[in-house]
Amino acid sequence: MLSQIEKECLVACNECAAACLQCASACLKEDDSKAMVRCIALDMECADICRLAAASITRGDEHMKAVCSLCAEVCHSCATECAKHAMVHCQHCAEACQRCADACRGMA
């Protein structure tokens, strides 16, 4: 059975992964997508680590806290990058990433 903190982190990780994938997809459709390369790369990395953290939490893995700690770092980097861009999808992603970073810090 998952604790309340684990449940909240699991939800935050899944929401963040979805927001990151949506952001990356939208960034690729921007007129100047080359200017969004770092944002897209961090979105993809963040989505991957969020999915890993969600799976680790769900299973109660031995290294779950370490995975969540790394997830918090990556989410913070992605939030910082996305916050630099005015597009709605980037702002939404930055918010989801910050929520996930906070939740993962609580787990770690």
Identify the CATH number of the domain in which residue 90 sits: 1.20.1270.360
Q: Which domain holds residue 89?
A: 4-107
Average per-residue pLDDT for the chain: 97
Count of domains observed in the chain: 1
Which residue shows structure tokens 């299973």? 59
- Helix, strand, or coil (residue 108): coil
User: What's residue 31's pLDDT?
Assistant: 95
Average pLDDT of the residues in 13-24? 98
Q: What is the pLDDT of residues 72-98, one digit of tens each?
A: 999 999 999 999 999 999 999 999 999
> CB–CB of 70/48 below 8 Å?
no
For the whole model, what pTM was predicted? 0.96
Residue 62 pLDDT greater than 80, yes or no: yes
> CB–CB of 56/63 below 8 Å?
yes
* Contacts of residue 54, Cβ cutoff 8 Å, sequence gap at least 6: 10, 13, 14, 17
